[in-house]
Amino acid sequence: MRSEARGEIIAKSGGDIWMRAPAPETTSLRQVVIAAKGCTACPLYKHATQTVFGEGPKSARMMLVGEQPGDQEDVAGKPFVGPAGKLLDRALAEAGINRDEVYVTNAVKHFKWEPRGKRRIHQKPSSRDIAACRPWLEAELRIVQPDVLVCLGSTAGQTVFGPQFRVTKERGRVMRSEFADKTVATVHPSSLLRAPDEESRRREYAKFVDDLRIALRATR
């Protein structure tokens, strides 16, 4: 059920309002998931099917955060189940990481898209979308308390480290962030799917797996 969002206003534009999402102060992941289902803190809920919250065990030592759910995630209500998610599964397995033991989520919990014919084309979330949704990510981090946080792509990297952050420059390093003592940034798996040719796809995939191995070593 949706309820009218109330809270600190971040921005207003063209009749739309962005507010800080009303994440409850609780240690229950289940309660946070239920609260997020009815979130209307920014306009993205209006054109998406459902909130796609993070998934994984509360005891996870590693949390991976991407940008936002894609077309298939929006329909399934689960993060990383589309083509990029399948590639992530493969890379995690190759790096020696069990997907069932990690927590996966996104910086923004609703799918932002624009129509192109019958297709729904991904649109990058704006800084106010990210700011509105941030309390949900903060709640996940507060409850799961991962040893290692992995930022997948520039949106996740900038959500954690600020707008100046460049994944291409900082990837594959273990860094301290406000959210975790050990934070590793790498590319988003969807970028591998957009590689222009087979050779660069193979090369970028290998680098991605290397970054995940660095994150795994950091959990030890």
> Smallest distance, Å, CB 155 to ligand SF4?
12
Separation of alpha carbons 173 and 215, rounded Å: 9
Q: Is 110 in the site for ligand SF4 (CB under 6 A)?
A: yes
Q: Is 36 in the site for ligand SF4 (CB under 6 A)?
A: yes
> Smallest distance, Å, CB 54 to ligand SF4?
11
Nearest in space to 105 (alpha carbons), one of 147, 156, 32: 156
- Is residue 26 within 8 A of residue 142, CB to CB? The reply is no
Q: Which token pair is 63?
A: 């949390």
Q: Is 42 in the site for ligand SF4 (CB under 6 A)?
A: yes
Tallying the residues shown for the chain, one arrives at 220
Q: Is 40 in the site for ligand SF4 (CB under 6 A)?
A: yes
Q: Is 128 in the site for ligand SF4 (CB under 6 A)?
A: no
Q: Which stretch binds ligand SF4 (CB under 6 A): 33-41, 151-159, 171-179, 199-207?
A: 33-41
Q: Is 108 in the site for ligand SF4 (CB under 6 A)?
A: yes
For ligand SF4, the closer of residues 55 and 129 by Cβ is 129
Three-state SS at 52: coil
Look-up of token digits 């996870």: 60
> Smallest distance, Å, CB 200 to ligand SF4?
32
DSSP state of 10: E
Nearest in space to 158 (alpha carbons), one of 189, 182, 191, 125: 125
Separation of alpha carbons 154 and 161, rounded Å: 10
Can you tell me which of 32, 54, 109, 141 binds ligand SF4, judged by CB under 6 A? 109
* CA pseudo-torsion sign 27, 31, 36, 38: negative
Q: Which token pair is 119?
A: 């297709």
* CA pseudo-torsion sign 150, 95, 144, 65: positive
Q: Is 113 in the site for ligand SF4 (CB under 6 A)?
A: no
Separation of alpha carbons 49 and 111, rounded Å: 8
Q: Is 131 in the site for ligand SF4 (CB under 6 A)?
A: no
Q: Which stretch binds ligand SF4 (CB under 6 A): 40-48, 94-102, 169-177, 197-205?
A: 40-48
DSSP state of 15: T
Q: Which stretch binds ligand SF4 (CB under 6 A): 128-136, 154-162, 163-171, 186-194?
A: 128-136
> Smallest distance, Å, CB 130 to ligand SF4?
9
Binding site for ligand SF4 (CB under 6 A): 21, 36, 39-42, 44-45, 51, 108-110, 129, 132-133, 136
